[in-house]
Amino acid sequence: MARIAQEFRPRAISAPTWTLESPEQAFAPFTLPASDTPLVSVIIPVYGKLPYTLACLRSIARHGAQTPFEVIIVDDASPDAGVETLGQIGGLRLLENAQNLGFIGSCNAGASAARGSYLLFLNNDTQVTPGWLDRLLDCFREEPGCGIAGSRLVYPDGRLQEAGAIIFSNADGWNYGRFEQPDDPKFLYRRDTDYISGASLMIETALFRQIHGFDVRYAPAYYEDTDLAFAVRGAGKRVIYQPESLIIHFEGITSGTDLQAGVKQYQVVNKSKFAQKWAQVLESQPAPNTPAARAIHHDRRPHILILDALTPDASRDSGSLRLINIMRLLGEMGWRVSFMADNRVASHDEICQLGRLGVHTLCKPWSPSLARWLTGERDTLQAVMLCRHYVATPNLDLVRRLTPRAKVIFDTVDLHFLRERRAAEHTTNKAIASQANASYRRELALIRACDVTLVVSPVEQALLSQEAPDAKVELLSNVHEVFGRNAGFAERKDMVFIGGFGHPPNVDAVNWLISDIYPRIRAARPDMALHLIGDIPEAERLKLSGEGVHIHGRVADIEPWMRGCRVALAPLRYGAGVKGKVNMAMSHGLPVVATSIAAEGMQLHHGDNILVGDDADSFASSVLRLYDDEALWLRLSDRGLDNIRQHFSFSAAREALRRALPPL
């Protein structure tokens, strides 16, 4: 059987990255975080093994949670003197079974006494890590229809124990990822799974009671967590694996590992009970010989690969934010998303950021080359999205050859040839003009060769209708949440420019702003400071520094400036596409002064929802006018928010994706 075979599988070696509470530590009374009005009730069934229970509780005391919770220990008539010791722990609710009820009976008893809206069943041979509880609760807040959320389980020595689990059609179970490396990105993204181990399992209290808790037919233990997951799905809810909740599990401490003796023998006995109860549902489960990597995705969701130059990071640039929001939408629309950067590099934080959206990041050293990965996934892919012409050009033939049935989508991000043409005109640089011509040929060839092309601006869509009239071109602009105005006119001061020096139009804009525009503003109003946000090299910072100029560099959260500044600036003199800095400011209700280029393609009109100035004098005078005119400021703020809702919302992007993607 698969479940038994896993017990003897060769084991990988990994170095643990956490500090464990020692079960051998001498007991001294301590206090757990506790709430009189808990949102979550943590239920820990206990039968002996007091040192491990104490270590578990010390880890909870050490890490706590942002969410109010209570801890309920259900002592199942333990043979040792644990009750007396546990009674000395502050904040702990201690229930004592009059007779031994087994794991299932103890869990159900704890659930009956729980006061929280959610139950978190936790084995006493576990230890928690930061975020253990809060990240599970995230699933119920962020994932529609979440019924169960479960943790990533690891062994104390650093090996992975479980990243969700699979049930095959013969009722065999398989802990996905067992004995592998826990930080492999294929284990770091949220996804639906067949079941979650009861070692760390969260469920809404009302739902648990609706389905009558753990089924007592599996008493004293084993298969009760699998059965619960099937019952939850039968109630129309989802079972979700949450990798950001990391639990260390000393597996086998309570029940042992001998399948022929003790409680562990019920792992075999209860399989037949489970198979009989769920016979009809099991017919649609994967066959026993199905590879785990395929079986874990047997929900048959359509699969898309997205290939871009770099792994997106929302704090880096607006293109990253747009792509992240597109991936979020794809997940909501029922797609399984895999992502690969052209250089196959991704940081742990970037992997986890995408993992929250259910995206599997393919990167070094974990994933193979693009060619090998496509070969292995050719039968699962319904679509491939290639972003930017310099990424799409060298990879299009490979994608067509290895995934001939996949629809190929070219996401221009912006039309590079248009931006480069404008840069050449602005600088009269012949080398840039030559580069623009080369980009034009490459981009037009891709547009004609791909099934669908995405552009961000109606100006670009109109241009391509002339340049490539036979191509299918869809408008999929920037995608923004509407954050709203969180501070009024009088509570704000100063100006802000957002944009890193990795994008040449930003370099020109900042230099123009510092050399020509800001001196005019400062001459009239020396109290108006200028804040620059974005990656700016140290050498450039020295040139830009001056009275009233604050260079913050790249920041993790721009909200303080969106809330605190009175005017956002976009003095771009060339470029293409839609400007994320303008959209972002407007999504926060922050009025914008921009050039015509910066306002292009966004349904913006001078004096209505934006102020426009194309030379230093008009730009500076527009800033000064807006800065002191509260009525104008409020009108631009309100109408800028309306513009985001109408043209750059998730609903507009969702419709564009539906038109571009193959039908589900």
Domain ranges of the chain: 2-252+261-295, 303-479+653-660, 489-648
489-648 adopts what CATH topology?
Rossmann fold (3.40.50)
pLDDT score of 211: 97
CA distances from 648 to 16, 135, 482, 605, 645 (A): 44, 29, 9, 16, 6
Candidates 351, 355, 381, 353; CA nearest to 363 is 351
pLDDT score of 263: 57
pLDDT score of 253: 53
Check for a shared fold between 303-479+653-660 and 489-648: yes
pLDDT score of 428: 87
* 201/195 Cα distance (integer angstroms): 10
Count the neighbouring beta carbons within 10 Å of the beta carbon of residue 631.
8
pLDDT score of 15: 56
Query: What whole-number percentage of the chain has pLDDT above 70?
Result: 95
- Integer-rounded Cα radius of gyration of the chain: 29
- Residue identified by tokens 């099937």 is 230
**How many helices and strands (H and E) does the chain possess?**
26, 25
Indicate the pLDDT class of residue 651, thresholds 50, 70 and 90: confident
Indicate the pLDDT class of residue 261, thresholds 50, 70 and 90: very low
* Helix, coil or strand: residue 599: helix
Q: Which of 246-255, 477-486, 602-611 has the lowest mean pLDDT?
A: 246-255
Question: What's the chain's average pLDDT?
Answer: 92
Which helix (H) or strand (E) is 563 found in, with range? helix 559-564
* 382/405 Cα distance (integer angstroms): 7
Mean local confidence (pLDDT), 32-41: 96
Highest mean pLDDT among 17-21, 45-49, 83-87, 200-204: 200-204
In degrees, rounded to 5, the angle at the alpha carbon of residue 512 between the alpha carbons of residues 509 and 516 is 150
Q: Which of 154-163, 395-404, 417-426, 492-501 has the lowest mean pLDDT?
A: 417-426
CATH of domain 2-252+261-295: 3.90.550.10
C-alpha dihedral over 62, 64, 70, 74, to 10 degrees?
A: -40
CA distances from 134 to 140, 149, 357, 597 (A): 10, 11, 17, 44
> What tokens does 282 get?
């099991």
* Helix, coil or strand: residue 620: helix
303-479+653-660 adopts what CATH topology?
Rossmann fold (3.40.50)
Which tens digits make up the pLDDT trace of 480-526?
Answer: 889 999 999 999 999 999 998 888 899 999 999 999 999 999 999 99
pLDDT score of 7: 43
Give residues with Cβ within 8 angstroms of 275, minimum separation 6: 170, 171, 282
Side-chain half-sphere exposure of 200, counting CA atoms within 13 A: 34
* Helix, coil or strand: residue 644: helix
Mean local confidence (pLDDT), 288-314: 92
Mean local confidence (pLDDT), 348-352: 95
Q: How far is it between the farthest Cα atoms of the chain? A: 89
Which tens digits make up the pLDDT trace of 429-459?
Answer: 889 889 888 888 999 999 999 999 999 888 8
pLDDT score of 538: 87
Looking at the predicted structure, is the pLDDT value of residue 11 above 60? Answer: no
* 312/324 Cα distance (integer angstroms): 7
Looking at the predicted structure, is the pLDDT value of residue 381 above 80? Answer: yes
Which helix (H) or strand (E) is 567 found in, with range? strand 567-570
Looking at the predicted structure, is the pLDDT value of residue 6 above 70? Answer: no
Q: Quick one: DSSP state of residue 489?
A: G
* 296/629 Cα distance (integer angstroms): 59
Indicate the pLDDT class of residue 4, thresholds 50, 70 and 90: very low
**pTM, 2 dp:** 0.86
pLDDT score of 415: 85
